[in-house]
Amino acid sequence: MVAKAYRLLRAALNTAVDDELIRRNPCRIKGAGIERAAERPTATVAQVFQLADIVPGRFRALILLAAFASLRYGELAALRRRDFDLRCRTLTVRATLVERSDGSLTFGPPKTDAGIRTVTIPDAIRRDVRAHLDDFVDEDQDALVFTGAKGAVLRRSNFQTACKWRESVAAAGLPDFHFHDLRHTGNTLASRTGASLAELMARMGHASTRAAMIYQHTARERDEHIADALSSQIKQSRDRARNGHGQRKKWVATNEAPARKPVLSWGLTLERVTGIEPALSAWEADVLPLNYTRRRHHCT
């Protein structure tokens, strides 16, 4: 609010400068015209499913698609049966529901061409989407997918009343959670998959890079947390190694020379045996001639 007031005042004074009513614009506060919205909360996957379980059954798929297909409320309320191709796991956003200042409702094209897009439905929720189409949607291809209990166009205020939004989000552990925060949750989850900037823009339906870059920044922060956790594990492992846990034994050098084993030398000697040699064994005397040569092995 303050930033908008500053921008309005600065614009008025710029006009005064152009008309030569004043010499220079005194509104020169750097960054005063920039709006810094508070960071919106995100839900966990478990909390999204818990919220989908709490709301009436006809709104279960709406909750899941808002989060995991990153759809805006107006886009969801304008979906028709023909926009779904469950064999290909896709839905196509062609229109959006707009509530005018006088309270009337109208269907129109998305604000930008980027809003017209085909989004792949996560396989984990395809069964929920199929069940919704079977149970709550007319067979006519032009039938609205999400309506009130009597089949009327689903005005946002009627949706919040029918599902008791404040009580439901509080029961899911998400106090002060807005419907648009479901889309914010889905965008954050998508950014953590490693999707490129162009891929995020296409899925989110953004014509500018600004919003997609915000989610990429969130992904980088998450990556920093992962790196910090890895660093902690590395540090703990190295600390254990320094304290001797899991450390390899080291050989300690000493001045003492190791004891040497005796070296044995083997050899072969040829001997000439004659009749004047010492008496032979009984076997040698029987089988050997009087003069012969024999081999003797020796070890020193």
Q: What is the pLDDT of residue 277?
A: 47
- Pairwise CA distance, residues 179 & 172, whole Å: 13
Q: What is the pLDDT of residue 146?
A: 98
Asked if residues 145 and 133 have their Cβ atoms less than 8 Å apart, the reply is yes
Whether residue 183 lies in the annotated active site: yes
Of 182, 194, 189, 188, give the one whose Cα is nearest residue 214: 188
Whether residue 132 lies in the annotated active site: no
H helix count then E strand count, the chain: 11, 7
- Walk along the chain (300 residues) and give the pLDDT tens digit of each residue: 777 888 899 899 999 999 889 999 998 888 777 766 567 888 999 999 999 999 999 999 999 999 999 999 999 999 999 999 999 899 999 999 999 988 899 999 998 888 999 999 999 999 999 999 999 999 999 999 999 999 999 999 999 999 999 999 999 999 999 999 999 999 888 888 877 888 888 888 877 777 677 776 666 666 566 567 767 777 787 788 888 755 555 555 555 555 565 555 555 555 555 544 444 555 454 544 555 555 555 555
Instruction: Return the CATH class of domain 45-221.
Output: mainly alpha
Of 126, 166, 180, 238, which residue is the catalytic one? 180
Of 58, 183, 184, 203, which residue is the catalytic one? 183
Q: What is the pLDDT of residue 283?
A: 46
What tokens does 125 get? 């929720």
Helix (H, G, I), strand (E, B) or coil at 298: strand
Whether residue 292 lies in the annotated active site: no
Q: What is the pairing mode between strands 266-273 and 117-120? A: unpaired
**Within the chain, which residue ranges are assigned CATH 1.10.443.10?**
45-221
Per-residue burial over 100-118, b if 16 or more Cβ lie within 10 Å, else e, is eeeeeeeeeebeeeebebe
The whole-model pTM stands at: 0.64
Of 72, 117, 132, 184, which residue is the catalytic one? 72
Which residue is it, tokens 């925060």?
181
- Pairwise CA distance, residues 103 & 87, whole Å: 38
Whether residue 206 lies in the annotated active site: yes
